[in-house]
A and B are shown apart, each in its own frame.
Chain A
Amino acid sequence: MHTVFYKLAFIPLLLLFLGACSNSEKNSLPGVDQTLAPEFGDTFIEASIGDASTLLPVLASDSASSSINGLIYNGLIRYDKDLQIEGELAESWEIAEDNLTITFKLRQNVKWHDGAPFTAADVKFTYDLYIDPNTPTAYAEAFKQVTHVEVSDPYTFVVHYAKPYAPALISWATAVHPRHLLEGQDVTKSKLARNPVGTGPYRFSEWLGGEKIVLESNPEYFEGQPYIKRVVYRIIPDVSTQFLELQTGSLDFMGLAPLQFARQTDTPAFRRLYNKYRYLNFGYTYLGYNLKKPLFQDKRVRQALSYAIDKQEIIDGVLLGYGVAATGPYKPDTWVYNPDVPKYGYNPVKAKQLLAEAGWQDSDNNGILDKDGAELAFTIVTNQGNDLRSKTGEIIQRRFKEIGVDVNLRIIEWATFLKEFINPGNFDATILGWTGGPEPDQYNIWHSSKTGPRELNFIGFKNAEVDQLLEEGRRIFDLQQRKVYYDRFQTILAEEQPYTFLYIGEALPAVSRRFRGVEPAPAGIRYNFNHWFVPKAEQKYSR
């Protein structure tokens, strides 16, 4: 449930599975021709931990709803398999030279699932809907940079910005809503929330609350009907149950836990049924220091703590090796990643030395460092329900103890955690995670204007140069030029260590072998779901 809260950007379905394929464990069945011609039919069954909340993307903020909405609706653009932006409902687009205007040319052959034609009026309506103060949406921010929009003809949509805004383009990956069904209505009362009408590859068929959601392929989809006829989301709240269902073959897809991936699926029976894949997630786990506390205002203390943590030990122990050490907010296989930043390998000697420089010594020989009569002790808080984080905390606790830092670990229920600890700044250090996407803008997390209550820079990081880099970085469209700003940004973060960046985990999906056309790419495996198919002879569900 908690993954919902860590979204860095509005991410359509495909991006939930983003990431480069670092190592595919797919092995072909001997004698099976992988170049079969695609055939229509069969059902794809996937489990979801939680029920969707609403199938109106403007209102949905949970991952279950988002992944289903990703099949029902389209945006103007999307990320392709290499994480490049490509047109979806937009045939093409043009960014004016001053970077202040984007003109989208829309596809003309697109129909809503109820048969009504899709036009630029729908796009304008969607924009109006998102910025309407009465719409309780979490996704209005990116559109607030827009000064005005125009519909110059039914298939041309023009957006104007006051200042250049690099994340602007990808904000138009937002699902387009049907004007003819929503206009003039209170969107929170709309029937579409449980009976959606989109333009996407799958049409809504059935929703049994808490049980399952069924989608049927759209024969009139503008990119051609998807091969898989039906998609079923079964709501199975318990991952052990999901795993048992997977073993009986009644699920076709499941994101595995490291333990399941490493130890429980290495049987001939499992390999006969499923292919396993692995690739890096977008998103990292960190130990964040509350910079409003005097203890953490000394950079040397933060650096020392980073040296005291053995990241590889955490990756091996908690993720069973399925992850890489994080050095900053970006993952290694993206264009924006800067490999040349100061790194903090495990070095307890250096850690002690830095702490000594900062005045922390064990003067009373009790094994815990002290300064001016106060011991070096603090509490790490994290949220309940995330086993990886609490285990990470335990490992860190022991390593800190070894250099004479006494650490308490507190695990707190999510709502209480936010209300009592994070919002009032009532914490020393916290283990949390951020999930991102290919767009590198980090303004909301690191800019000094975002340190207010309930804002994301809750550790209180303030750095004038970083502020400037973030402000300018989001105004530049050219990637090469842009990278200069974010390279420097990463260097400063690495030097300052406001977080100890811990690890980036891997996605570990298992997919039924029936499905062909799965091609791991930087975007993960789900980007080409519409092209997956099952050869007639292997189709399992005839209806």
Chain B
Amino acid sequence: MLSYVTRRIIMLVPLLLGITLISFVVIHLAPGEPTDLQTQMNPQASSELQDRLRVQYGLDKPLYVQYGKWLAQLVQFDFGESFASDRRPVLDKILERLPVTILLNVLSIVLILAVSVPLGVVSAIRRNSGFDRTTTILVFTGFAMPSFWLALLLMDWFGVRLGVLPVSGLKSLGYEYLSWGAQLLDRITHLILPVFVSAIGGLAGFSRYMRSNMLEVIRQDYILTARAKGLSERTVIYKHALRNALLPVITILGLSVPGLIGGSVIFETIFAIPGMGKLFYDGVMMRDYPLIMGILVIGAMLTLLGNLLADLSYALADPRIRHSQQENSST
């Protein structure tokens, strides 16, 4: 098992290297440079200034030199400095945006799981019933609805017309003067709409997935055995069937690890939430190469780690995989 993990981790290195190389080249293929965007169409900025900026940023060097320099910094865990006029370290910028992005994504996943698992299970047990059909329609409507549109409608309804929820942002003005409980309430009310809107799109996929898993499992012989033993339907479904149907969820959770730090631009823009999606989007628009690369590298690392974790936890959770691996490694 240990050698398996080591092997997997070592394999990540060339993979990561390849990802960074491709990303680096692709980003530089996009027309326009950060210096153009900072100085052009500004009558006060001369051509010499643009040339000077290019030298300061190292953009005058050939691409492979730029990549080499960037890579040399990266192995020392230095993501470099942003090309934006604030020249802040890329890592600072990312760390500033990370907590709120993770918070929202975790809450959203929890909400998705909490709703879609029971939905999927009940839909599977009562396949083709009225309940099954209604939920199908509802979750797909949620899936098909553009999130920005839904967000604006909810903001207008709950924020402006009813006035019960804040429209946007994370905290109210004067938050720091509130009592502990009021602060918590303030945060929660600010999170309700964003979490709801970001979860609604994910409900469809997850609940359908859960439903088909469950259907698959219910057809298995051991469920028949369980029923034959005379176990109650409740025990059969929730103890024997559900556990097995939940196994593939591990894969999905593993795959959603990189999603935890990725945000949606549209969604963050609408709710005025300073998250990773907006940071990345602004970085791309400004051709802020170090920032874009920093986010991509962290994203790539998390994706690879997420895959690894999913595989490993699969092995832990499912004895069949664990055993077959041991046989493999012993041969």
Contacts and interface: CB of A to CB of B under 8 A. Distances in A.
Interface of A: 1, 5-10, 43, 45, 50-51, 53-54, 59-62, 65, 133, 136-142, 188-189, 193-194, 208-211, 232, 234-238, 240-241, 244-245, 247-248, 250, 414-416, 418-420, 423, 444-445, 452-456, 541, 543
B155 A418 contact: no
Interface of B: 30-33, 36-47, 49-50, 52-53, 56, 84-88, 93, 96-97, 152, 155-156, 159-160, 163, 166-171, 173-174, 177, 268-272, 274-275, 278-279, 282, 285, 287
Most buried by B among A6, A51, A136: A136
Given A6-B41, A138-B49, A248 B167 contact: yes
B47 A454 contact: yes
A141 B85 contact: no
B307 to A, nearest CB: 30
B168 A61 contact: no
Nearest to A141: B44
A244 B49 contact: no
A237 B174 contact: no
A129 to B, nearest CB: 14
A420 B159 CA distance: 44
Contacts of B87: 188-189, 193
Given A211-B171, A241-B271, 17 more contacts: A1-B285, A53-B86, A138-B38, A189-B87, A193-B86, A210-B96, A234-B169, A237-B268, A240-B152, A244-B159, A250-B166, A415-B31, A419-B36, A453-B47, A454-B40, A454-B47, A456-B41
B32 A418 contact: yes
A208 B97 CA distance: 10
A136 B272 contact: no
Contacts of B287: 415
Contacts of A208: 274
25 contacts: A1-B285, A5-B37, A51-B274, A53-B86, A61-B38, A62-B85, A65-B85, A136-B56, A140-B44, A140-B46, A141-B45, A208-B274, A211-B272, A232-B173, A234-B169, A244-B159, A248-B163, A415-B32, A415-B287, A416-B30, A418-B37, A418-B40, A420-B31, A423-B40, A452-B47
A141 B285 contact: no
B269 A237 contact: yes
Nearest to A6: B41
A54 B84 CA distance: 9
Which are the 6 A-B pairs with shortest beta-carbon distances? A210-B274, A415-B32, A444-B43, A5-B41, A419-B31, A138-B45
Nearest to B50: A454
B46, B86, B170 interface centre (most CB from chain A within 10 Å): B86
A420 B278 CA distance: 26
Contact of B270 (A9, A60, A238, A455): A238
